[in-house]
Structure 1
């Protein structure tokens, strides 16, 4: 290169640094792209996204291509810098050129381009794919040889090379994505998405109307009593049974009963039973995500929850499951959580004993035990193992609980106050 001028070598060296910066930025931009946004843009017809998506189908080939280009450029730049250094400073120029080139490459060909690409991956990856695609075709033989040799060496070292890379995310990862998308998704929609993910953790036992609250009609009652119950029922469907709730014989739609009422000749007990639908039974412990699908497949809207002995435990509707996702409906006849709690100015909360523990945890971000009984009354009776007197107090987890009212062997009202954590989760006073 004696016939090449020093100025030309310096200009070539600068070009090499720029090319090295291009390869560094391209690698970082490609690897830091949001794969799901990339897939979305590609489906919408974005050409840059489609080119990048094709390149990323074989990330090993892409990385090999970028590393080949980057290393060739850096080695050539090192050689040119050595020549320029010797021409300008003699033997000392080798050390001077090495120091200056190392600083320049680190700053202008590594740190700056990679930082910019990490912050703006689409602005770098999409345009650079225009050049990387043809380069990949041209350098495919060299890339193939290098990849084959690297896989061979990895096998010799006992490293598996046929492990597939999946873009699928777990439910916990999806939950993190939803939680981190607050700038893109409203809080209400966030809560709905998280509730859908939580359906498999919640069972029909957690949301069912308990046995004691099920509204039904004993078909053996006198006819006037049956008509009175039908005309005053607030529900769209009502359970028919004989003598005992466990002897359920049908689920009657009130709309059908009203139709029979208009046809006075047809309005009898026998026709009422014929108009009732067959009772749909649900095993206790069924997760909500499974039950929602079963409701859809069986074209049912109401189910009766039974235990392993066939005894009725409660009633669940499609509306109950939907409320787990979107929140309470104003048409619900049962009391809402807002009607069962009264926040106090001192930070405590007065709560009805019938309030659902899991709903309290969700509403106040508490950690009351929700694995056992579903109501506050049931939870406290299980902890105390006896029916307490009004005025008794205890500590549950990190919450001080004072029992305000007890009636009919049930805790009717309590006052809960969050406290500092203790080593012992439950302390009675």
Structure 2
């Protein structure tokens, strides 16, 4: 009878291990949109589940603690059960290791995690009372607070930097993506709105280095260009604003506005009177930061430079050109392009891209 009870105990602990492993994955995969909807509609168990999930770190620590405890109990129970037959401690420990290692790994970890990964919403809800009870027990007993304290102590001891703000930001963006994915087929938004929202969600991860125009594709004017040389550039270039360099294309002085330069109606031997300053940005700058910089200042063109430590912005190698239009297109999609055929384009009503 004792042997049967021990075997049943091991099986129960094994099922509990699968429960903890699966729920741990299910918590990450659970739809926050459906959870909030269930709370607002007063569905059973959703409020308790929402309360537990609100303390994300505490809930995960509770699940990990529970998983380790049941794994230890399952292993101890099997060892004890084998001892009743083998009468040899070393042999019992050996067979326990041979049996429990693959069994727990496959059926206590991989299989339940895979099932909960794809069926989180349908499986987590009926398990909500148990999940809430485990979290509440670990919280009231002080186990969660103790593990948090140990985590902080060891983090400082080993100088492990924990960027909580970044982790929260990534998690929240992931949840927004999930909510958007779940509601995009409801027909409330047009395809244009859907695309813009998708770009808005993804834009914090986009750097200016990925959206700039490479230097080898940028049409530029030399500082000593006269009116005729500038007209030749305008004939093949569709842009209103053109970067200006001196001697070497890597030495960018600023940019000129074609309308203002050619609209002056007078001959000129160089472009110095018309050169306007431009802003320089590191290639790792995010698109959102670039939009903020160019919106606050009178900047329409930015030079994107290489990430070279110890150098001033003017000394860094230019990699490309970025315009406000390029940044806006990351939200709106590709904008229409209008070409400037000559200095007459201003009077003909045509517009340029820069």
Q: What is the TM-score of this pair, normalised by structure 2?
A: 0.50
Distance 1:21 1:147 in 2: 24
The answer as to 2:100 corresponding to 1:101 is: yes
User: Could you report, residue by residue, the CA deviation over 1:230-278 in whole angstroms, capped at 9, with x for unpaired residues?
Assistant: xxxxxxxxxxxxxxxxxxxxxxxxxxxxxxxxxxxxxxxxxxxxxxxxx
User: Aligned-pair distance for 1:198?
Assistant: 8.0
- Identify, as 1 or 2, the structure richer in strand: 1
Structure 2 residue aligned with 1:150: 151
**Off by >6 Å, runs of 4+ in structure 1:** 173-177, 196-199
- Identify, as 1 or 2, the structure richer in helix: 2
Greater relative contact order (Cα 8 A, min sep 6): structure 1 or 2?
A: 2
1:40 to 32, 37, 41: 37
The answer as to 2:166 corresponding to 1:169 is: no
Pick closer, same or farther for the CA change 1:5–1:127 going to 2, 3 Å: same
Pick closer, same or farther for the CA change 1:118–1:174 going to 2, 3 Å: closer
The answer as to 2:23 corresponding to 1:26 is: yes
Contact 2:62 2:144 in 1 (8 A): yes
Structure 1 residue aligned with 2:77: 80
Flag the structure with larger Rg: 1
User: Aligned-pair distance for 1:110?
Assistant: 1.3
Contact 1:175 1:194 in 2 (8 A): no
Task: Count residues with an aligned counterpart.
Answer: 218
1:204-243 equivalences under 5 Å are none
Distance 1:198 1:132 in 2: 36
Pick closer, same or farther for the CA change 1:18–1:177 going to 2, 3 Å: closer
Distance 1:188 1:139 in 2: 44
Pick closer, same or farther for the CA change 1:64–1:94 going to 2, 3 Å: same
Contact 1:25 1:124 in 2 (8 A): no
User: Could you report, residue by residue, the CA deviation over 1:356-412 in whole angstroms, capped at 9, with x for unpaired residues?
Assistant: xx9xx9xxxx97xx58xx43xx35x26xx999xxxxxxxxxxxxxxxxxxxxx999x
Q: Secondary structure at the match of 1:10?
A: helix
Pick closer, same or farther for the CA change 1:150–1:124 going to 2, 3 Å: same
User: Could you report, residue by residue, the CA deviation over 1:291-313 in whole angstroms, capped at 9, with x for unpaired residues?
Assistant: xxxxxxxxxxxxxxxx99xxxxx
1:264-283 equivalences under 5 Å are none
Pick closer, same or farther for the CA change 1:124–1:174 going to 2, 3 Å: closer
Q: Secondary structure at the match of 2:173?
A: coil
1:354-393 equivalences under 5 Å are 374-375=337-338, 378=339, 381=341
User: Could you report, residue by residue, the CA deviation over 1:130-161 in whole angstroms, capped at 9, with x for unpaired residues?
Assistant: 01222323222122111111122213333455
Pick closer, same or farther for the CA change 1:186–1:138 going to 2, 3 Å: closer
User: Could you report, residue by residue, the CA deviation over 1:305-337 in whole angstroms, capped at 9, with x for unpaired residues?
Assistant: xx99xxxxxxxxxxxxxxxxxxxxxxxxxxxxx
User: Aligned-pair distance for 1:176?
Assistant: 9.4
Pick closer, same or farther for the CA change 1:176–1:79 going to 2, 3 Å: closer
Structure 2 residue aligned with 1:339: none
Distance 1:137 1:80 in 2: 27
The answer as to 2:114 corresponding to 1:115 is: yes
Q: Secondary structure at the match of 2:4?
A: helix
Distance 1:65 1:84 in 2: 28
Pick closer, same or farther for the CA change 1:131–1:188 going to 2, 3 Å: closer
Q: Secondary structure at the match of 1:169?
A: helix
Distance 1:16 1:131 in 2: 15
